[in-house]
Structure 1
Amino acid sequence: MGIVEILGIATSVSLLSGWRFYLVVLATGIAMRSGYVPLPEHLESLAILANPWVMGIAAVGTLAEFFADKIMWLDSAWDTVHTLVRPIGGALLTLAVVDPSDPATQVIAFLLGGGGALLAHGGKASARAVVNTSPEPFSNVALSGVEDIATVGLLWLAYEYPVAAVAVALALLALCVALLLLARRLLKRLFFRTGEQTQHPLPPPPLP
Structure 2
Amino acid sequence: MEEYQQLIGVISLTMGVAWASGLNLYAAILVLGFAGSTGGIELPENLQIVQDPAVMLAAGLMYAVEFFADKIPGVDTGWDALHTFIRIPAGALLAANTVGDVTPALQLAAGIVGGSVTSVTHAAKASTRVLINTSPEPVSNWLASISEDVAVFGGLWLALNHPVLFLIGFIAFLFLLIWLLPKLWRGIARIFRKIGQWLGLTDETREAIEDPSALKGAALHPESTAASSSQSLVDALQGLDTMHKSGALSDMEFEQAKASVIAKHELA
Provide TM-score, normalisation by structure 2. Answer: 0.68
CA distance in 2 between partners of 1:171 and 1:60 (Å):
33
Equivalent in the alignment of 2:171: 170
Q: 1:198 Cα deviation (Å)? A: 6.0
Structure 1 portions without partners, runs of 5+: 202-208
2-structure distance, mates of 1:199, 1:61: 49
Are the counterparts in 2 of residues 27 and 152 from structure 1 also a CA contact under 8 Å? yes
Report matched runs for 1:1-208 at 5 Å: 1-39=5-43, 43-188=44-189, 190=191, 195-196=217-218, 200=223
**Structure 1 residues 129-152: Cα deviation after superposition (integer angstroms, max 9, x where no partner):** 000011222111111111111111
Name the amino acid aligned to 1:142: L
In structure 2, the partner of 1:204 is: none
Matches of 2:27 and 2:53, distance apart in 1: 15
Contact 1:15–1:172 (8 Å) recurs in 2: no
1:3 deviates by 2.0
Distance 1:168 1:13 in 2: 14
Tell me what 1:205 maps to.
none
For structure 2, which runs of at least 5 residues remain unmatched after alignment? Answer: 198-216, 225-268
- 154-163 or 50-59: bigger deviation: 154-163
RCO comparison, higher one (Cα < 8 Å, 6+): 1
d(CA) in 1 for partners of 2:42, 2:97: 15
- Give the aligned residue type for 2:125: K
| Whole-angstrom distance in 1 between the partners of 2:139 and 2:109 | 40
Q: Which amino acid aligns with 1:170?
A: I
CA contact (8 A) 1:12 1:172 kept: no
Greater Cα offset, 53-62 or 7-16: 7-16
Q: TM-score, normalised by structure 1?
A: 0.86
Q: Distance in 1 between matches of 2:176 and 2:137?
A: 24
Larger mean CA deviation between 141-150 and 158-167 belongs to: 158-167
CA distance in structure 2 between the partners assigned to 1:185 and 1:141 by the alignment:
24
Question: Which structure has the larger Rg?
Answer: 2
Closer, same or farther in 2 for the Cα pair 1:60/1:178, shift >3 Å? farther
How many residue pairs match? The answer is 198
User: Structure 1: how far apart are the matches of 2:116 and 2:61?
Assistant: 26
Q: Distance in 2 between matches of 1:59 and 1:138?
A: 24
Q: Percent identity?
A: 37
Deviation at 1:179, TM superposition (A): 4.0
Quote how far apart the aligned CAs of 1:189 are: 5.1
CA deviations 1:92-118 (Å, max 9, x no partner) are 111111133222211111111111111
SS at match of 2:135: coil
Q: Is the 8 A contact 1:99 1:105 kept in 2?
A: no
Q: Shift of the alpha carbon at 1:173?
A: 2.4
